């Protein structure tokens, strides 16, 4: 039987909680929280925001090299440093992985190999020999995804007739038509529209033969079967239907029957240019920005055209140039980020600091709040196609991305603003109310919330041949829905609101048999489960409900022997590995926050988890979240871009989430003692 006691001195820093076998000293928690608060504040930008590095796989450096070779641009030294960065992460088997510790990936490995060749490396060099051997054993170039194959077409390494068609005529479909572009995810839209321009123009640049990758085709390029295969198990299938349409499209291309091509290209260009405005590049994300630059050149824009200069400048801003090396790696390197995350990081940091007891009138929080308020969306974007009557509101992820606010950022900013007493009280209230109204307008039919669009759920799009990047849709998810429930509760909403109750029913329907919830935007079930539990607790769902206790038991069940929690990106490929992985500060914090939300303050699991966080904190108040040593050191990826395709490491997750967990733990114990 556990015992519980609080020191009577009245000084909570001297309080000690006893758990039989484990002691958790609240004094240590206080000290760790104080150091963490100091460190988080040390990362604040003078303008008031936070923006940690956003790390992704070596594809970004490979594509950077590819893009500058294709465009005939780029600084040689920077490209060399990008090659150095890319080579750091080659696996022992010769390939490259889309997350640290993961299996080699064929598309990424082909891109990296090609980048090496473009930079003058010879095929007999050991790095390329190992890579080539792995690629050929795993099927060669023909096994790559569509986007990789189309990029290869640009430099003459694949056949346009053998890749899925991406015709620009897709922009001509009316908004009421079942297959219009607003029925696919916002990020796919931003990627595909400029790509369709490059596809239509058949972008091509001849490169020296020695830079080619014919050696990556099993049996030789001339003997390779490049066409997509039919579904032979089921003649009447959506895959075969779309492949048939694809073949017809290619046939029309070959005989030059394209009556609407000129109109389509003009509309695609206009669509793209319009979304350059009030944004840090198209969609403010790496692949869309890169494709838009290629599309501009295909349309005849010169390198000194203001639109191209601006697009290139925004693209280059994503780079981090380490000309003097890093603490772990002495060689100069250059790496690219997939985008930047200032609104997201600022909202998370302010909320964690507010929860940690920073006064609501602290000038640093006020400055951050005013910065966030300045980023409110006041123009209608793509979301308004389906949500016509709603007024603009909410926030985006990056510095500027007016066309693409998202529900997740909006919910987190609202949580952050609730921690600040702003002298502009009325203004902040009006902005918050607009955001809440917009969030309600974005609620999907099934009760949940998606990220950028409403009811973006037509599963048929997953069968389109060019949809193999596994991110064509933006369906409602439980992680975002959980965050929105917490936000709505903070602003006074209860279960008496039918929209809230509908969201709760959505969450319960989505629970896995073992009690966990899937995480779409963080890795993975630990992320989804903690956000759901926090949302349900905040909105007033009794924590003794069987669904809640089953989720808490799942979290306790997957705790590591060292007291922490971890989960790898591999759980998206194999759900049987959910909750399994090396302990990390952010995921340990998520697990603890989930257990505390479920009413668990006394279990050994919680005490061990807190002690793990305390033991792992560094002298400066931060936490380390990485794998490997020296040259191969790499952050643990706990963020999700596209499941099974693209993952992320948010470099500030490791700091503000543990701070939130420690302070939530202390508050829970003090409430219980009271």
What's the average model confidence in pLDDT over 568-579? Answer: 97
The answer, yes or no, to whether residue 513 has pLDDT greater than 80, is: yes
Phi-psi region of 362 (alpha: psi -120 to 50; beta: other; left: phi over 0): beta
For residues 276 and 312, is the Cβ–Cβ distance under 8 A?
A: no
Helices (H), 301-390: 306-316, 342-355, 363-373
Q: 153: which 2 tokens?
A: 């077409």
Q: Which of 280, 408, 453, 468 is catalytic?
A: 408
DSSP state of 123: T
Q: Does the pTM exceed 0.85?
A: yes
What's the average model confidence in pLDDT over 652-669? Answer: 97
**3 state DSSP class of 28:** helix
Q: 565: which 2 tokens?
A: 């929690």
**3 state DSSP class of 560:** coil
Task: Output the pLDDT for position 327.
Answer: 65
Residues of the chain with CATH 1.50.10.20: 1-42+511-674, 55-336
Give the contacts of 215 (CB within 8 A, at least 6 positions apart): 123, 132
pLDDT (tens digit per residue) in 416-433: 999 999 999 999 999 999
Task: Output the pLDDT for position 241.
Answer: 84
Burial string for 321-334 (b: 16+ CB within 10 Å, else e) reads eeeeeeeebeebbb
pLDDT (tens digit per residue) in 370-422: 999 999 999 999 999 999 999 999 999 999 999 999 999 999 999 999 999 99
Task: Output the pLDDT for position 188.
Answer: 95
**3 state DSSP class of 177:** coil
Q: For the chain, how big is the Rg over CA atoms in Å?
A: 26
CATH 3.50.50.60 for the 55-336 domain, yes or no: no
pLDDT (tens digit per residue) in 31-86: 999 999 999 999 999 999 999 999 999 999 999 999 999 999 999 999 999 999 99
Give the DSSP per-residue string, 591-652. HHHHHHHTT--SSHHHHHHHHHHHHHB-TTS-B--EES-GGG-EE---EEEETTTEEEEETT
**Of 330, 269, 258, whose CA–CA distance to 305 is shortest?**
269
Q: Architecture of 1-42+511-674 per CATH?
A: Alpha/alpha barrel (1.50)
**Cα angle for residues 62, 654, 572 (degrees, 5° grid):** 60
Q: Across the strands, what pairs with 634?
A: 627
- The mean predicted confidence, pLDDT, of the chain is 93
Tell me how far apart the alpha carbons of residues 464 and 443 are, in angstroms, rounded to a whole number.
27
Tell me how far apart the alpha carbons of residues 348 and 417 are, in angstroms, rounded to a whole number.
11
For residues 291 and 67, is the Cβ–Cβ distance under 8 A?
A: no
**Cα angle for residues 300, 302, 308 (degrees, 5° grid):** 100
Q: Which helix (H) or strand (E) holds 554?
A: helix 546-557
> How many CB atoms are located within 10 Å of the residue 445 CB?
11
User: 5 pLDDT band (50/70/90 cuts)?
Assistant: very low
Q: How much of the chain is in helix, strand and coil states, percent to nearest 5?
A: 50, 5, 40
**Cα angle for residues 547, 550, 555 (degrees, 5° grid):** 125
Tell me how far apart the alpha carbons of residues 293 and 272 are, in angstroms, rounded to a whole number.
11
Looking up tokens 């969201």 gives 503
User: 1 pLDDT band (50/70/90 cuts)?
Assistant: very low
The answer, yes or no, to whether residue 13 has pLDDT greater than 50, is: no
Tell me how far apart the alpha carbons of residues 156 and 158 are, in angstroms, rounded to a whole number.
6
Give the contacts of 233 (CB within 8 A, at least 6 positions apart): none
What's the average model confidence in pLDDT over 337-343? Answer: 98
Looking up tokens 């079942």 gives 178
The answer, yes or no, to whether residue 620 has pLDDT greater than 50, is: yes
Q: Would residue 624 show up in a list of annotated catalytic residues for this protein? A: no
User: 7 pLDDT band (50/70/90 cuts)?
Assistant: very low
pLDDT (tens digit per residue) in 463-477: 888 888 778 999 999
**Of 181, 672, 118, 94, whose CA–CA distance to 382 is shortest?**
181
| Of 239-248, 438-447, 664-673, minimum mean pLDDT range | 239-248
The answer, yes or no, to whether residue 3 has pLDDT greater than 90, is: no
Tell me how far apart the alpha carbons of residues 552 and 536 are, in angstroms, rounded to a whole number.
13
**Looking at per-residue confidence, does 326 or 46 come out higher?**
46
The answer, yes or no, to whether residue 2 has pLDDT greater than 70, is: no
User: 15 pLDDT band (50/70/90 cuts)?
Assistant: very low
Q: Which helix (H) or strand (E) holds 653?
A: helix 653-673
> How many CB atoms are located within 10 Å of the residue 38 CB?
12
**Cα angle for residues 165, 171, 176 (degrees, 5° grid):** 120
For residues 368 and 350, is the Cβ–Cβ distance under 8 A?
A: yes
């Amino acid at each position: 039987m556990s015992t519980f006691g609080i020191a009577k001195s009245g000084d909570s820093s001297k309080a000690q909680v006893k758990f039989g076998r484990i002691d958790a000293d609240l004094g240590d928690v206080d000290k760790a929280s104080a150091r963490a608060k100091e460190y988080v504040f040390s990362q604040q930008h003078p303008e008031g925001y936070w923006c940690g590095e956003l790390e992704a796989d070596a594809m970004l450096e490979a594509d950077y090299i590819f893009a500058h070779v294709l465009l005939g641009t780029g600084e040689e030294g920077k490209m060399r440093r990008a090659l150095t960065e890319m080579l750091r992460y080659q696996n022992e088997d010769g390939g490259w992985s889309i997350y640290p510790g993961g299996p080699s990936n064929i598309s990424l490995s082909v891109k990296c190999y090609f980048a090496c060749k473009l930079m003058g490396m010879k095929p007999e060099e050991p790095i390329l020999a190992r890579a080539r051997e792995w690629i050929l054993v795993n099927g060669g170039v023909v096994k790559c995804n569509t986007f990789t194959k189309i990029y290869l077409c640009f430099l003459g390494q694949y056949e346009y007739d053998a890749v899925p068609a991406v015709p620009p005529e897709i922009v001509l479909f009316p908004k009421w038509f079942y297959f219009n572009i607003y029925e696919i995810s916002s990020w796919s839209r931003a990627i595909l529209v400029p790509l369709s321009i490059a596809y239509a123009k058949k972008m091509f640049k001849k490169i020296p033969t020695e830079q080619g990758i014919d050696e990556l085709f099993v049996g030789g390029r001339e003997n390779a079967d490049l066409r997509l295969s039919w579904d032979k198990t089921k003649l009447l299938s959506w895959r075969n239907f779309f492949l048939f349409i694809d073949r017809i499209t290619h046939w029309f291309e070959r005989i030059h029957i394209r009556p609407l091509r000129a109109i389509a290209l003009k509309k695609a260009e206009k669509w793209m240019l319009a979304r350059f405005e009030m944004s840090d590049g198209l969609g403010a994300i790496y692949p869309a920005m890169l494709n838009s630059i290629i599309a501009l050149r295909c349309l005849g824009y010169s390198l000194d055209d203001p639109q191209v200069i601006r697009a290139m400048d925004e693209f280059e801003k994503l780079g981090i140039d380490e000309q003097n090396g890093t603490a772990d790696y002495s060689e100069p390197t250059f790496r690219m980020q997939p985008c930047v995350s200032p609104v997201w990081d600022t909202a998370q940091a302010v909320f964690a600091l507010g929860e940690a007891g920073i006064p609501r009138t602290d000038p640093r929080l006020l400055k951050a709040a005013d910065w966030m308020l300045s980023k409110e969306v006041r123009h209608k974007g793509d979301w308004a196609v389906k949500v016509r009557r709603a007024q603009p509101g909410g926030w985006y992820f990056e510095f500027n991305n007016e066309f693409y606010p998202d529900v997740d950022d909006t919910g987190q900013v609202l949580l952050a603003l609730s921690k600040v007493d702003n002298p502009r009280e009325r203004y902040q209230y009006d902005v918050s109310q607009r955001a809440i109204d917009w969030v309600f307008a974005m609620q999907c039919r099934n009760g949940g919330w998606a990220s950028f669009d409403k009811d973006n759920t037509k599963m048929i799009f997953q069968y389109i041949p060019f949809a193999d990047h596994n991110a064509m849709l933006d369906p409602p998810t439980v992680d975002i829905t959980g965050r929105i429930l917490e936000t709505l509760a903070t602003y006074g909403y209860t279960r008496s609101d039918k929209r809230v109750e509908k969201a709760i029913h959505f969450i319960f329907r989505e629970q896995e048999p073992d009690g966990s919830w899937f995480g779409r935007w963080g890795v993975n079930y630990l992320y989804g489960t903690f956000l759901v539990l926090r949302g349900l607790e905040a909105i007033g769902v009794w924590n003794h409900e069987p669904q809640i206790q089953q989720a808490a038991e799942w979290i306790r069940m997957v705790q590591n022997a060292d007291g922490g929690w971890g989960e790898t990106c591999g759980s998206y490929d194999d759900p049987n590995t959910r909750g399994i992985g090396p302990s990390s500060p952010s995921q340990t914090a998520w697990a603890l926050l989930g257990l505390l939300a479920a009413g668990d303050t006394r279990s050994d699991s919680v005490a061990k988890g807190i002690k793990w966080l305390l033991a792992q904190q560094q002298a400066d108040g931060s936490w380390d979240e990485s794998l490997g040593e020296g040259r191969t050191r790499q952050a643990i990826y706990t963020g999700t871009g596209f499941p099974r395709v693209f993952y992320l490491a948010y470099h500030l997750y490791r700091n503000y989430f543990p701070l939130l967990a420690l302070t939530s733990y202390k508050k829970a114990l003090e409430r219980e003692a009271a």
